[in-house]
Structures are given as C-alpha cells and as structure tokens.
Amino acid sequence: MRLNKYLAAAGVASRRKADDLIRSGLVMVNGKPATEPWIDVHPERDLVEFEGRRIEQPLDRIYILMNKPLGVITTVSDPHDRPTVIALLGDEYTGSGISPVGRLDANTTGALLLSNDGELAYRLTHPSFESQKVYQVRCAESVDGSSLKRLEIGFDLEDGPVIVDTVQRIDAYSVELTLHIGRKRIVRRMFDSLGYTVVTLHRSRFAGLSADDLESGAWRKLAPDEVNDLKKSVGLVPGA
C-alpha cells in the first residue's frame, strides 16, 4: 500500500495532508525519514512512525452520524473535562482513530459526522468540494426582508466573503440557510453582523445526511449505501 494511503487509512491525516507530512520528513519508515508519498509499505513488514509513535496498520473505517446535543464540544478530548462528542460514543471506539468531521460549537445542535476516514473527512470539509450544510436559525428579533436579501446576495465578514447557497424564511423569527463554506462560527457571525441575536442554531443536514430522526445525543452507523453516496458526492470511488 502506498504510504500516503496507509497514513490516511490509519486516521493520521487526509491523503493530501499526508503528502505534506511525508515530504516534510515527519514520517519514518523502518527508522529512516520517508521522502515520497508513493513508496510502498506493508503493515506486517514495515515500521511506520509519525511524531515518535508507531502507526498501526490501517483501521477499519467507521462512519457515524450523531444528533449533537447542546453543550457538548466537537473534539476528541478536552483538557477542561467538558463533555465531548467522542465521549458520547462510549468505550467501544477507544483507539479507533475516529474524530468529528468538521465542527459545531457547543451551543449548536444537529447533524455531525464522525469518522476515521481521513480522505473523506478532508473532502467533506474543504469548500472546493461544495458539500452543503443546512442550518435552521432562530433569532431573538424578527428577521426583516432586507436582511434576507443581504443573505441572498452575500456580504463580507472580517475573514472574507460570505456566500449563501439558499435562504428560506421559516417564520418571522426563523430562517433556513444552505451553505457550502465552513468557517468558525460563520452562521452566528453572519447574523451578528446584521444586528440579530441568535437564540438557537441547529444543523438539520450535512452533506445530504439528516440526524433529525435521532434523539438529541443519539447516534448510528451509516448504512453502506449512505457511505457510497458520501464518497460519490466528493469524487471518491465507493469502497476505495
């Protein structure tokens, strides 16, 4: 197996990021720095190391959809002992290399994918692959028509332009947005810049997946056809 694919399958990084790690001399094969991503390695014959730790043979790939609850942070671990999405999975997935695909802040609920498939995670979160995210936003103030128009047209924030794919009013205080960008607290910052206070923020869909049929904090494994659809949506061959 090629080294970059080995690292991606083991949950170290996406294949593209693995290329950078290898070319930077950070990956060791049999005690020597590897220099090219395409060299072949065998899990039973070769010792692969990254940052001083042995990289075990590629993990079985895991794909989980969660309805993230309020007050839980989207990280693998937390030094302040705050509740994490990984802790909600239980001990079964300890050592599996699974991590959240993208982020939802502690006060945002809804669809969250978790996986140890580094290549798929990279593509689903990179804006160039245009994986859509659907958010339902409820504000403390009534959202007027001019604000909806600004959302439709797009505008600039301090870290760059905002492009909204679709905007739909739910009621006087609530709006549904579809985005393919994913910057830190992007939805809350959009509404803050328009003068609104976000009361609740819920991601109803991520890359075509909805977790609204799950109880808050509940999760399930994706079916094989759902995994294949995800891979097709970002240009990966199903089963690769």
Structural domains in the chain plus CATH codes: 3-54 (3.10.290.10), 63-127+211-233 (3.30.70.580), 132-206 (3.30.70.1560)
Residue 8 predicted with pLDDT over 90: no
> How confident is the model over 62-94, as pLDDT tens digits?
999 999 999 999 988 888 889 999 999 988 887
Which residue has better confidence, 141 or 25? 141
Per the residue annotation, which of 20, 40, 78, 105 is the catalytic one? Answer: 105
Q: How confident is the model at residue 238 (pLDDT cuts 50, 70, 90)?
A: low
Give yes or no for a contact between 219 and 87, defined as CB atoms under 8 angstroms apart.
no
Residue 228 predicted with pLDDT over 90: yes
- Lowest-confidence segment of 8-17, 163-172, 222-231 by average pLDDT: 8-17
Kindly give, in sequence order, each residue whose CB lies less than 8 Å from that of residue 128, ignoring residues fewer than 6 positions away: none
Closest-CA residue to 209 (of 108, 72, 83, 67): 67
- Torsion, Cα of 211, 213, 218, 222 (10° steps): -60
> How confident is the model over 29-61, as pLDDT tens digits?
999 999 888 888 887 788 999 888 888 766 688
Instruction: Let me know if 105 is a catalytic residue.
Output: yes
Q: Residue 114's pLDDT is what?
A: 96
Q: Residue 192's pLDDT is what?
A: 95
DSSP string computed for 147-177: HHHHHHH-EEETTEEE--SEEEEEETTEEEE
- pLDDT mean over 142-153: 94
> How confident is the model over 94-119, as pLDDT tens digits?
777 889 999 999 999 999 999 988 88
Tokens representing 156 are 């600039």
Report the percentage of the chain scoring pLDDT > 70. 96
Residue 122 predicted with pLDDT over 90: no
Q: Could you tell me how far CA 176 lies from the centroid of its own chain? A: 20
The whole model's pTM is what? 0.78
